[in-house]
Amino acid sequence: MKTYHDIATDGGSDVAGQVADQMARLSSRLARVGHVVAIMSGKGGVGKSTLTAALAEAFALMSHSVGIVDADINGPSVALMTGVRHHVPHPVPGGMSPATSASGVKVMSMDLFLQHDSSAVLWEAPSQRHAYTWRPMVEMGVLRELIADTAWGALDVLFIDLPPGSDRLPNLADLVEDRAAAVVVTGPTAVSHGVVARSITAAADVAGLPVVGLVENMSSYVCTACGHEEYYDRSGSGAAELAAAHDIPFLGRIPFDSRLALAADRGEPFLAHAGDAPVGRAIMALAARMKDYLQL
Ligand SMILES: Nc1ncnc2c1ncn2[C@@H]1O[C@H](COP(=O)(O)OP(=O)(O)OP(=O)(O)O)[C@@H](O)[C@H]1O
Ligand SMILES: [Mg+2]
């Protein structure tokens, strides 16, 4: 497949020039962002988006200016989880205004541009078979636009909620140059650990992203009636060993709590209301470890 630079003539649209301009906008936008933290996992459904939203709330509660860009272009969920689903971005000097959640987190997502809840994200192409070929390239272009063309202002941390898998990590690393670090999320099961092991290698060795550490989500279930905590594996050795095998820190375990899922479904802040629940304390402890790493 040809790249922008191989196209002999583009009918005067200067695609290469447009991309170069956008890369310049991206650089100047990122110059006002202290840290970029990608929340990633090779495994789907382990809680990347939920933890992104909760961590952003945690940083906002600690008086940091925070943004989230939803890099899950085809399955965006951050707008819903942060309660900004129907905020439509509008042009402001220097870009598009991000939506702002009740906790003060700035959010930009493809979801904000989709009018209907069940709208599919489809790319223009002669056929959907061709769209499949172009999709990775188009998606990275959309992500570049979501970051570069949003008037984020000055941010301490910009979180990137990644889709499952690791195939886009090298592109992401290129996009944010040497600005990003990754937090890897796993579930408590061996099935999850096996898939996540490969994505840690992809992040660290292939994409060259510094890895803040590994967090295990939904490790236990806390009974909201009696407070008893039931673990999938009480020792937690699986995730700790996985982190040790890759020489990255193990950042801790987050319990399952239906109130967190409910708050995410309703787009309501969770920590501000239930921060003293075990899941709230675990998320705040995770945020504190990340703050140490980022030296914030
Ligand atoms: N600690 C938790 N306690 C309760 N529910 C949780 C927890 N973590 C995640 N969930 C729930 O699990 C479901 C999957 O979480 P989420 O969408 O964040 O996963 P994901 O890794 O982003 O998925 P995808 O790979 O599709 O992007 C959601 O309904 C979410 O509310
Ligand atoms: Mg997600």
Q: What is the pLDDT along the chain (296 residues), one digit of tens a residue?
A: 555 556 566 666 676 777 777 788 889 899 999 999 999 999 999 999 999 999 999 999 999 999 999 999 888 999 999 999 989 999 998 889 999 999 999 999 988 987 666 665 555 555 555 555 556 667 788 899 999 999 999 999 999 999 999 888 888 888 887 789 999 999 999 999 999 999 999 999 888 999 999 999 999 998 878 888 899 887 778 899 999 999 999 999 999 999 999 999 999 999 998 878 899 999 999 999 999 999 99
- The encoded tokens of residue 2 equal 């040809």
Find the 276 Cα to ligand 2 centroid distance in Å. Answer: 25
Ligand 1: which of 41, 43, 49, 223 to mutate, judged by most atoms within 8 Å of the beta carbon?
49
Classify 38-294 by CATH class.
alpha beta
Instruction: Using the atom order of ligand 1, give the atom closest to the CA of residue 255.
Output: 1
For ligand 1, atom 8, name the residue with the nearest CA. 47
Kindly tell me the burial class for residue 237, based on how many C-beta atoms sit within 10 Å of its own C-beta (0-12, 13-18, 19 or more).
exposed
Find the 160 Cα to ligand 2 centroid distance in Å. Answer: 10
CB of 48 closer than 6 angstroms to any ligand 1 atom:
yes
User: What residue ranges do the domains of the chain occupy?
Assistant: 38-294
CB of 274 closer than 6 angstroms to any ligand 1 atom:
no
